[in-house]
């Protein structure tokens, strides 16, 4: 059975720690998963269309590469959407580089279509930070993300 | 007068039948039956529909607001309660949202979180477009909540 790294609600059907089988620990904001005594922390997770969902992640938080791998290989929806949410919130530059590397390899990318869709890379959005950047820098960021979106769309339509 | 009103009401019930197929195919006959019951009840006793977007805070605020004005949110309908009970997936909720928007009339309310409405939200991708094309809608009233 796959290890749980994320637990999340669906349309707010879970809210309290006990809904996730979690119990308060002696440390503030850290909870114990009663089935394996692992430690978990609250986090707002993937927006399925109604706003960010209630959730928890297993401590320690996975690295970007681990999160990306989890998103690609996991069969568990909470792991998949949880990993995607953290990537979309914190690792957009790393995500961009990873996608560019993937595109440069001579491999069949159709197995990544679902991953691209969960990450919403088929939408032309500037995901880079705009803080302390001038107009031309922001425009350049948008263009490179748009280029990535065009590539993703062509992969999706080639299936 | 009664005949005209009856015809209009039947029209309203059957206008929602387009969503019946997608509800039944994923949610079973239980979801379909509740959708029809909601549409029939709505045709004869229309309450203001209250939409929400932007997380649990918006959902709870919309529910409180609907209770205060004698309106209803999707979760307060027979279909909505049923979908909550069976832990329905996104597709079912989207079909239910589409039907709820299609069945709206008069003034509709939209409770939105101050963090903004995401482009891929159900409000932006499903509900708003149907409400905008719905000739029975007289007015939209937006309320922004903080949180």
Enclosing domain of residue A108: 92-158
Average pLDDT, chain A: 96
Q: pLDDT at residue A110 above 60?
A: yes
Cβ separation of B118 and A47 shorter than 8 Å? Answer: yes
Residues A83 and A98 in one domain: no
Q: Which of B70 and B38 is assigned the larger pLDDT?
A: B70
**Average pLDDT, stretch B133-147?**
93
Nearest C-alpha neighbor of B77 from the set B124, B38, B110: B38
Average pLDDT, chain B: 86
Separation of alpha carbons A73 and A76, rounded Å: 9
Cβ separation of A11 and B54 shorter than 8 Å? Answer: no
> Is residue B44 packed enough to be buried (19+ CB in 10 Å), middle (13-18) or exposed (0-12)?
exposed
pLDDT at B22: 73
Q: Which of B42 and B81 is assigned the larger pLDDT?
A: B81
Q: Provide the domain count of chain B.
A: 1
Tokens of A98: 């990873």
Residues A29 and A105 in one domain: no
Backbone CA torsion sign across A115, A77, B95, B44: negative
Distance between A140 CA and the closest CA of chain B, angstroms: 22
Residues A108 and A134 in one domain: yes
Enclosing domain of residue B13: 2-145
Q: What are phi and psi of B4, to 5 degrees?
A: -65, -45
**Tokens 């509900």 belong to residue:** B127
* A126-140, B12-26, B133-147: the lowest-pLDDT one: B12-26
For residue A82, tell me if it sits in a domain: yes
Instruction: Give B-chain residues touching A52 at CB under 8 angstroms.
Output: 55
Separation of alpha carbons A155 and A15, rounded Å: 38
For residue A151, tell me if it sits in a domain: yes
Residues B45-95 have pLDDT tens digits of: 779 999 999 999 999 999 999 999 999 999 999 999 999 999 888 999 999
For residue A141, tell me if it sits in a domain: yes
Distance between B110 CA and the closest CA of chain A, angstroms: 13
Residues A29 and A83 in one domain: yes
Which of A15, A52, A120 shows the shortest C-beta gap to B120? A120
Residues A134 and A123 in one domain: yes
pLDDT at B1: 43
pLDDT at B19: 75
**Average pLDDT, stretch B11-20?**
62
Which of A49, A51, A125 shows the shortest C-beta gap to B56? A51
Q: Which of B117 and A139 is assigned the larger pLDDT?
A: A139
> Is residue A123 packed enough to be buried (19+ CB in 10 Å), middle (13-18) or exposed (0-12)?
middle
Separation of alpha carbons B4 and A116, rounded Å: 51
Residues A86 and A124 in one domain: no
For residue A62, tell me if it sits in a domain: yes
- Chain A interface test: which of B51, B54, B56 (most A C-beta within 10 Å): B56
Separation of alpha carbons B8 and B105, rounded Å: 12
> How many other CB atoms sit within 10 Å of the CB of residue B70?
8
Residue A45, SS3 per DSSP:
strand
Question: What is the CA angle B49-B129-A154, rounded to 5?
Answer: 140
Closest chain A residue to the Cα of B111, Cα to Cα: A50
Separation of alpha carbons A83 and A106, rounded Å: 26
Is B112 within 8 Å of B99 (Cβ atoms)?
A: no
Separation of alpha carbons A8 and A56, rounded Å: 6
* A22-31, B60-69, B111-120: the lowest-pLDDT one: B111-120
Residues A26 and A86 in one domain: yes
Q: pLDDT at residue B9 above 60?
A: no
Q: Provide the domain count of chain A.
A: 2
Residue A54, SS3 per DSSP:
strand
**Average pLDDT, stretch A74-86?**
97
For residue A1, tell me if it sits in a domain: no
Which of B 34-53 lie inside 8 A of A, CB atoms?
A: 52-53
Q: pLDDT at residue A51 above 70?
A: yes
Strand ranges in chain A using DSSP code E only, listed in sequence order: 6-8, 22-24, 31-33, 39-47, 52-58
Separation of alpha carbons A147 and A145, rounded Å: 5
pLDDT at B11: 57
ipTM: 0.83
């Amino acid at each position: 059975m796959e290890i749980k790294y994320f637990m999340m609600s669906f349309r707010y059907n879970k809210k309290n720690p006990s809904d996730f089988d979690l119990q308060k620990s002696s440390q503030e904001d850290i909870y114990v998963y009663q089935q394996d005594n692992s430690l978990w922390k609250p986090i707002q997770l993937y927006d399925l269309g109604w706003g960010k969902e209630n959730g928890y992640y297993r401590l320690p938080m996975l690295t970007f590469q681990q999160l990306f791998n989890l998103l690609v290989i996991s069969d568990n929806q909470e792991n998949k959407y949880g990993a995607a949410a953290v990537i979309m919130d914190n690792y957009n530059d790393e995500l961009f580089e990873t996608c560019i590397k993937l595109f440069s390899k001579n491999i069949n990318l159709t197995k990544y279509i679902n991953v691209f869709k969960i990450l919403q890379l088929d939408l032309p959005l500037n995901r880079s930070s705009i803080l302390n950047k001038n107009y031309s820098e922001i425009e350049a960021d948008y263009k490179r993300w748009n280029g990535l979106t065009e590539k993703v769309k062509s992969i999706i339509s080639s299936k | 007068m009664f005949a005209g009103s009856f015809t209009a009401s039947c029209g309203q019930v059957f206008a929602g039948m387009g969503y019946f197929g997608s509800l039944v195919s994923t949610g079973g006959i239980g979801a379909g039956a509740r959708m029809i019951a909601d549409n029939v009840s709505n045709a004869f006793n229309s309450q203001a529909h209250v939409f929400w977007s932007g997380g649990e805070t918006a959902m709870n605020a919309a529910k409180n607001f609907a209770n205060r004005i004698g309106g209803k949110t999707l979760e307060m309908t027979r279909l909505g309660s049923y979908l909550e009970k069976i832990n329905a997936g996104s597709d079912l909720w989207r079909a239910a949202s589409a039907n709820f928007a299609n069945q709206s009339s008069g003034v509709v309310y939209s409770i939105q979180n101050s963090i903004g409405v995401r482009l891929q939200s159900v409000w932006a991708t499903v509900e708003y477009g149907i409400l905008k094309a719905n000739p029975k809608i007289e007015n939209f009233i937006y309320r922004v909540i903080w949180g």
